[in-house]
Amino acid sequence: MEKEHTSYGVKEIARRANVSTATVDRVLHNRTGVSEKTRIRISEIIKELDYQPNILASRLASRKIISLAILLPGVSEETDFWSAPLNGIRRAESEIKQYGVQMKYFFYDINDKNSFQEHINQLLELDVHGILVAPSFIEETSRLAAQCAKRKIPFIFIDSDVPDLQSLAYIGPHLYKSGYTGAKLLTYRLGSNKKVLFINISKEIENFNYKEIEEGFRAYFQDREQANEIVRIDIRETDYQSVARHLTYVFHLNKDIGAAFVTNSRVHTVASFLKNSHRTDVSLIGYDFLKENVAYLENNVIDFLICHRPEDQGYRGVMALYQTLVMNAAVTNPYYMPIDIITKENYEFYQN
């Protein structure tokens, strides 16, 4: 298997080795003052990450500016999910800015495709060398990809993918297997005569993410020949009152729902409904390590949270652009993140 070439900085090596950057510098320059055990550990990490200090030094001597555009949903009161990938992006920026890399940030309203398009127009007016984007709207993302192909600008998708757009890389979950995993978790206390509620809560329902997740979710029941009926509901209004109204209706029509699966981080709105409705007999699974979700996990309303390390997605996305534009190195495409399963018992030890 060919080794993946990935460009990381001294700070990342120090973080992984749990030492100071000064200690890493001593090892890089073969100076004294470092224990043999620590020296071996740092050397192994340097080898693992394929760190290339000579190339970075030559980059430092160059005065050429590399400009990267970051296009993400803004952090809102509705969900603070996007603070995690932004933290990873900021961490990467702190490592590579000394090598002439500048970041330009564009934050769009995740519920407004016009906001997404407006920010695309703004960033394309600038002289950018690479783009990191979380694609929330398919048509607008396709138009962005066409412009990038025309201008020969590499772009990377994180968290969500839009296939066949010739992105440099997709960094995020394997959506099909994530949905499959969710279905497997959901059946751990599901009666054979109970229905399963599959819930999309998003203003952009026609999203590749949801389709892939749903395919994986349904495949688990088919593979196991489980006859539980799956009731699918799309909720386009994302506020709690609208979600509660839709759920009240679907539970009225389906008295025998035993489990519910939410395809994104808005699982806490469903948890709130179940708690307010005193429906303790319904298993609930959703996504993402948000404080609102963790609170319901801790109180046994949410059974499991599925997480895909969004901070690491942001970090790896920036570094993949950097290694392409500066190091002239190949990147892994797609790069699938781990599918982490968070419970009441282990959430205190999880790092997003």
pLDDT (tens digit per residue) in 236-272: 888 899 999 999 999 999 989 999 999 999 999 999 9
Local confidence band at 138 (pLDDT 50, 70, 90 cut-offs): confident
Q: Domains for the chain: give ranges and CATH numbers.
A: 10-51 (1.10.260.40), 61-172+309-337 (3.40.50.2300), 175-307 (3.40.50.2300)
Q: Residue 203: which pLDDT band, with cuts at 50, 70 and 90? A: confident
Question: What's the rounded mean pLDDT across residues 283-304?
Answer: 96
Look at residue 57 and tell me whether its pLDDT is greater than 90.
Answer: no
Q: Token pair for residue 241?
A: 């009152």
Q: How confident is the model at residue 179 (pLDDT cuts 50, 70, 90)?
A: very high
The pLDDT value given to residue 64: 76
Task: Tell me what pLDDT residue 48 has.
Answer: 78
**DSSP state string for 121-152:** HHHHTS--SEEEE----HHHHHHHHHHHHHHT
Distance (Å, rounded) from C-alpha 288 to C-alpha 32? Answer: 44
Instruction: Report which DSSP code applies to 203.
Output: S
Provide the pLDDT for residue 5: 39
How far apart CA 124 and CA 104 sit, in angstroms, is 11
| 223 against 77, higher pLDDT | 223
